[in-house]
Amino acid sequence: QQQVKQSPQSLIVQKGGISIINCAYENTAFDYFPWYQQFPGKGPALLIAIRPDVSEKKEGRFTISFNKSAKQFSLHIMDSQPGDSATYFCAARHLNDYKLSFGAGTTVTVRA
């Protein structure tokens, strides 16, 4: 079963708008939460990552918000651009065996 639940499955946003993708987990043994971006025909590329002792991390137009008590984290893409159109995966890494569990992915389409 999916250890990391990701929503929505897809979203469409206008250029300049904000894209928000949410993830939730149950296993408290996760200690590292990366987000990957994947374009068609390519492998996933690391976008941004956060550890549970930090509530927010920002890199350029991409921000992760982390709520440890709720076991939820989200990716915000500010000022969305057509080049951001891709599939985004959240993931969680187990602290003991370092295995990454991935969410199901969110396909983001940015309309010009």
Partner 1 sequence: KAGVTQTPRYLIKTRGQQVTLSCSPISGHRSVSWYQQTPGQGLQFLFEYFSETQRNKGNFPGRFSGRQFSNSRSEMNVSTLELGDSALYLCASSLDRADTQYFGPGTRLTVL
Binding stretches for partner 1 (CB under 8 A):
2, 34, 36, 41-46, 49, 89, 97-105
We find the least distance from the C-beta atom of residue 104 to partner 1, in angstroms, to be 5
Q: What whole-number distance in Å separates Cα of residue 1 and Cα of residue 45?
A: 24
Shorter beta-carbon distance to partner 1: residue 19 or 105: 105
CA distances from 51 to 2, 11, 31, 89, 94 (A): 20, 26, 6, 16, 12
Shorter beta-carbon distance to partner 1: residue 17 or 109: 109
DSSP conformation class of 82: G
Shorter beta-carbon distance to partner 1: residue 41 or 69: 41
We find the least distance from the C-beta atom of residue 42 to partner 1, in angstroms, to be 6
We find the least distance from the C-beta atom of residue 102 to partner 1, in angstroms, to be 4
CA–centroid distance for 105 within its chain: 8
How many other C-beta atoms lie within 10 A of the C-beta of residue 70? 8
